[in-house]
Amino acid sequence: MINQLFGNYLVKTGALSRDQLERAFETQKKVRVKLGLIAVTEKLMTLEQSEEVNKLQAVMDKRFGDIAIEKGYLTDDQVGRLLGLQGNQYLTFAQAVTDNGFMTLKEFENAFSDYQKALAFTLTDMESLKSGDSDRIVPLFLPNDVDELQKEHVLIAVRTLLRLIDSDAYIGRASWVSSIPAKGVAFQCLAGEKNQDTKVALGLIGEEDGLLRVAGTFAKEEFEKVDLDSLDAVAEFINCINGMFATKVSSKVFLDMLPPIYREENVTVSGGRMLKLPIFVDGNELQLLSTYDGMINI
């Protein structure tokens, strides 16, 4: 997700063109990150030290890590940790952008610092972003006052979307809304069986192509338009997410899953205090709607 988030930021700020970003993504699929690049981005070596080791590598039959240890730039343990980061999405993206000559590593790192400022993120937040782990990234985009149970619900939703629908999906900053207009909606409410106070709901609205991608990929079927058939598939996808959520929280609360609801016409979706999380699927914006202690209504 970090490659999509930061990549789109680079396009927005003019550091990369859309075409360069797409080419970087293509390159990224084939990239194996060089240890020197990881060492520099992890701040364990300076760029100069990395270049020195690279030059030595050209004349010595030794691996980068071995030379860096000999020179005293890295320890055994550090090399081990860096090797473990070679598949990291941030690093493979950095390598793809620099290998293509679109930016130097220095420019890339500076842009990442600017990105941190633009998002008002801490260094710890940025480490979470660079980890590529959606469970660490998603909370950064949620408001601080989200309940833990609701956070878990949203995490499961994003994780499931990445796993079943689009591994390249990415998110935007979430916000609270009380209602939102939509053309087409699918949602499902869950309620505590005995204690009706526990009520949660999850819904999905958004651009037609995004909804069709969710429906088509989940149902393994081609849909031409957002209608009751495609929204039924979106609702079943939500039903699966909710099932996983209900399982996860079952030790704390039993949640009865009510039949999913979907409408193809223009509606106003309301839910008291409703969390709205933008999710971009194939570049199409969807809104994941989540309520806690309240149902979604239309």
Partner 1 sequence: MSRILIVDDSRTSRKILRSILEDAGHDVVGEAMDGQDGVNKYKEMRPDLVTLDITMPVMDGLEALKCIREVNAEAKVIMVTAAGQQNKMIDAIKLGASEFVTKPFEPDEIVKMVNKLANN
Q: In this structure, what token pair is assigned to residue 157?
A: 């939703």
Q: Which is nearer to partner 1, 93 or 187 (CB)?
A: 187
Q: What share of the chain is helix, strand, coil (3-state, %, to 5)?
A: 50, 20, 30
Q: Which is nearer to partner 1, 60 or 240 (CB)?
A: 240
- Shortest gap between Cβ of 232 and partner 1 (angstroms)? 5
The H or E element that residue 50 is part of is helix 47-59
- Residue 89 pairs in a beta bridge with none
- Restricting to residues 94-123, name those near partner 1 by CB under 8 A: none
Query: Residue 235: which residues within 8 A CB-CB, separation 6 or more?
Result: 186, 187, 188, 260, 261, 262
Give the 3-state secondary structure of residue 272: strand
- Shortest gap between Cβ of 216 and partner 1 (angstroms)? 11
- Shortest gap between Cβ of 208 and partner 1 (angstroms)? 18
Residue 229-268 contact track with partner 1, rule CB under 8 A, x = bound: x--xx-xx--xx-xxxxxxx-x---xxxxxxx--------
Q: How many residues bind partner 1 (CB under 8 A)?
A: 28
- Restricting to residues 202-221, name those near partner 1 by CB under 8 A: 218-221
- Restricting to residues 157-196, name those near partner 1 by CB under 8 A: 164, 193
295 touches partner 1 by CB under 8 A: no
Distance in angstroms (rounded) separating the CA atoms of residues 185 and 205 = 5
Let me know: does 101 contact 117? Beta carbons within 8 Å. no
Instruction: Note the residues at the interface with partner 1 (CB under 8 A).
Output: 164, 193, 218-221, 229, 232-233, 235-236, 239-240, 242-248, 250, 254-260
